[in-house]
Amino acid sequence: MPDLTKFKKKIKKSLIKINKDKKSLHDIDLSKNYVKDNFVFNYNKNILSDEAINRIFTFANYLKDKKKKFQNKDMWNNITSNDDHKNLMNYCINGDKDNFLKLILSSGKSKLVHGFLHYSSYEDLFSSDKVKHKESMQILDKLISLAEYKKLLKVFNPEQGGWIVENINYHKIIGETFLHEGKDIAPFSSPNFTFGINSNKKFYCLKDFKMFYTSLRLNELSKNYNLKEVHEIGAGLGFTAYYFNKINQNNYYIYDLPNILILQAYFLMSSIGEDKVSLSGENKTESCKINLHPFWEVFDNKESNNLLWVNQDSFPEIDLNLAKKYITKILQSKNSCLFSINQEARNDNSVGGFQHTVYDLLSFSQNFRSIYRSRDFLRLGYIEELYSINS
């Protein structure tokens, strides 16, 4: 008689492979009931003091007054030109606390986080169980990859068989993954209405797993190459800076678009504390380890040594001329490194041209040396690179 157990398992594996999200590295056995019982939209009340909100308002006016003109035409400027971003900045400039909080406390539903959070929109996630299932698969896929990197799970290998991910206690793995040198690392305070997993009375979204990985790499590189500061160009909502600060006390500098800096200021202060974040234009104190600056200020800084520059998910989409200026600035550093996690698809850039690559940008100079180039540990089609600068 045929072995029905083996037959059923083969059918199950075939269905898992058929339903696999094409962005995932792993074939995950994930039931509809598991998604329903464990994945939610989070919500947090505002915890910032009036003093912190007023600091953000002062910061917005500083950004408006100091803004320098750059001929940068790219997808990121398109994203931040929508009404939600304009309204957020106007509320800050006009000191409109009620409308500021109303918008930022519903940011997961708005255009404020487009390109910085989910793969799918809030509307699609809210209305479709199928979309929820795919996003859940993505979240667990990143968790598994992160746990593989930290040697908490075997690296699943299709060449050796047994590549279907099943019978894993995800909550146990999350708890173990967010330990660093025996210290529990609390998750970032994600925007409200973010979709993610409730685990161990904490909430984690896709970006928590992706950016905790980046922070671990930055910590390792900082120590291995004796780099004293991290300088990130384009930092999303600030997840990586938050996690890095949890495991390393080196100063962390962010350079970004004005609208995005406002979001970073709010979410970083909410996540790590108001006294840990310095806003450009303020008097920096010793406790402030995360420093937010408009992107044009990176060009005003004097040359420095032993810096770890980082860019992820943005160099290929940034205006080519501006990206070249960033690279020129980076390559002036002495005894430094550039860490990049980016794609090389060369797709349409949404403004009438095509995306470029990091190695395109570096082709204009010789003040660097490639240390390694590999596929990214967490994402299909992404390249992780490390370059030594003037060493």
Q: Which residues of 310-339 are buried (b: 16+ CB within 10 A; e: fewer)?
A: bbbbbbbbbbbebbbbbbebbbbbebbbbb
User: What span, in angstroms and rounded, lies between the C-alpha atoms of 66 and 48?
Assistant: 26
Residue with tokens 């994945």: 39
Residue 208 CA neighbour count, 13 Å, CB half: 27
Contacts of residue 5, Cβ cutoff 8 Å, sequence gap at least 6: none
Q: Do the Cβ atoms of 188 and 215 come closer than 8 Å?
A: no
Q: Do the Cβ atoms of 84 and 103 come closer than 8 Å?
A: yes
**Predicted local distance difference test score (pLDDT) of residue 71:** 64
pLDDT of the chain along its 391 residues, tens only? Answer: 567 777 776 776 777 777 777 788 888 889 999 999 999 999 999 999 999 999 999 999 999 998 877 767 777 777 788 899 999 999 999 999 999 999 999 999 999 998 889 889 999 999 999 999 999 999 999 999 999 999 999 998 888 877 788 889 999 999 999 999 999 999 999 999 999 999 999 999 999 999 999 999 999 999 999 999 999 999 999 999 999 999 999 999 999 999 999 999 999 999 999 999 999 999 888 889 999 999 999 999 887 899 999 999 999 999 999 999 999 999 999 999 999 999 999 998 888 889 999 999 999 888 899 999 999 999 999 999 999 998 7
SS3 279: strand
Q: Supply 186's token pair.
A: 């609390």
Edge-first strand listing for the sheet containing 229-233: 277-279, 290-294, 251-256, 229-233, 307-312, 336-343, 382-389, 368-375
Q: Supply 360's token pair.
A: 């395109």
User: What span, in angstroms and rounded, lies between the C-alpha atoms of 327 and 358?
Assistant: 9
**Predicted local distance difference test score (pLDDT) of residue 109:** 95
pTM: 0.95
Q: Which residues of 187-209 are buried (b: 16+ CB within 10 A; e: fewer)?
A: bbbbbbbbbbbebeebbbbbbbb
Q: What share of the chain is helix, strand, coil (3-state, %, to 5)?
A: 45, 20, 40
Sign of the torsion angle spanned by Cα atoms 296, 336, 213, 357: positive
Contacts of residue 274, Cβ cutoff 8 Å, sequence gap at least 6: 48, 49, 51, 52, 55
Nearest CA-CA partner of 267 in 247, 233, 290, 250: 290
β 382-389/368-375 pair status: antiparallel
What is the four-CA torsion angle of 240, 245, 105, 118, rounded to 10 degrees?
20
Helices (H) and strands (E) in the chain, counts: 14, 15
Q: Supply 165's token pair.
A: 């991910």
Eight-class DSSP state of 11 = H
Tell me whether residue 354 is exposed, middle or buried, using C-beta atoms within 10 angstroms of its C-beta: 0 to 12, 13 to 18, 19 or more.
exposed
Q: Which domains does the chain have, with CATH numbers?
A: 4-43+117-208 (no CATH), 211-389 (3.40.50.150)
Type and span of the H or E element at 214:
helix 206-224
**Residue type at 228?**
K
